[in-house]
Amino acid sequence: MVHFIDPLEENAAPAPRSSPIRRSRIGTREVLSRGSREVRRAVEPGAQVGEQQIFHLTHEGNLASIVAEKQLFADTNPDWEERPAVDLAAEATRLARRARHTGHHDDSVVADFVPFSLRPDSRQLRGLVPRAGLVLLVSSIASVLDWQTTAHPAHTPKMLFTNMDAAVPGAEFGRTREQLASLVRMLFSPATAPAHVEESRAAEFLVQGFFPLRRVLSIGVPSEEAATRVRAVLADRSATIDVLVRPEWFRAD
């Protein structure tokens, strides 16, 4: 097993942190994901790590509040007043993520972060039956790096990543660009990907506190009917988010 350690700085120097998230109002969280044919072309050897897509799994029923808030909230974010209309997380999962420390001196836990997967057919999605109403919010590591570069120094977003379920005891968390590139190459390069399929389905990319909706590049849905409903929810936004019909991301196999 490969271990990784802590925002995506070139030289691994600690990034300025925003104030630690309080854990007053505790609620639910959302899960995440990413796809099969898409995975093979995700990051070829020598490709930039920024090209890697990241996927947040949620439900159509939660999109209206996400659009209204203009962001995704981490489970423990005290500003998240309206919990999800459709909760995808089991109670045991929520509790485990609230209890699992990331091992950093800010005393953060996994539930302090908005979770993303590195492929659409993540372990989380594959564990959900039925899958009616599921959607995938798609961004990229490049978009996150741009956010980190342009953010005010006092509010530089903190990102972590791991090659397994972040709540599992023994999971270690990475932060440097070199560590992330190593993880992505191991999971998705043609020479090594076949041996790491299940690991790539479990891997997580975590963003502390919240994730701006403007950093979402597209939304994947399973059918044209779902696309019509999602476009209606997005209709009042000034910035366009592409809605992509990707039934292969949501298949039961």
Active-site residue list = 97, 204
Spell out where 77-203 has E strands. 113-117, 134-140, 159-162
Residue 101 among known ligand-binding residues:
no
Q: Is the pLDDT of residue 10 over 80?
A: no
Amino acid at 51: E
pLDDT number for residue 253: 65
Give the Cα separation of 25 and 41 in Å (integer).
Answer: 41
Inter-helix orientation angle 60-69/224-234, to 10°: 20
pLDDT, mean over the chain: 81
Helix (H, G, I), strand (E, B) or coil at 99: helix
Strand partners, 117: 55, 204
- Per residue in 30-87, pLDDT tens? 222 233 333 333 333 344 687 899 999 999 999 999 999 999 999 999 998 878 889 8
How far does CA 5 lie from the centroid of its chain?
Answer: 18
- Can you give the residue ranges of every domain in the chain? 46-249
Tokens describing residue 72: 């995704």
pLDDT number for residue 75: 95
- Per residue in 105-122, pLDDT tens? 788 999 999 999 999 999
Question: Using 50, 70 and 90 to split pLDDT, how confident is the model at 252?
Answer: low
Percent of the chain with pLDDT over 70: 80
Helix (H, G, I), strand (E, B) or coil at 58: strand
Residue 17 among known ligand-binding residues:
no
* pLDDT (mean) for 157-165: 92
Percent of the chain with pLDDT over 90: 56
* pLDDT (mean) for 141-145: 93
Give the lowest-confidence range in 6-20, 78-92, 197-211: 6-20
pLDDT number for residue 43: 35
Give the Cα separation of 66 and 9 in Å (integer).
Answer: 29
Question: Using 50, 70 and 90 to split pLDDT, how confident is the model at 18?
Answer: very low
Give the Cα separation of 44 and 63 in Å (integer).
Answer: 33
Tokens describing residue 61: 């029923």
Residue 34 among known ligand-binding residues:
no
User: Phi first, then psi: what are they for 37, rounded to 5°?
Assistant: -60, -35
Residue 206 among known ligand-binding residues:
no
- Per residue in 202-215, pLDDT tens? 999 999 999 999 99
Spell out where the chain has E strands. 31-32, 53-59, 71-73, 113-117, 134-140, 159-162, 204-208, 210-212, 218-221, 242-245
Quick check: 65 and 85 in contact, CB under 8 A? yes
Give the Cα separation of 120 and 35 in Å (integer).
Answer: 4
* pLDDT (mean) for 177-205: 91
DSSP 105: T
pLDDT number for residue 48: 62
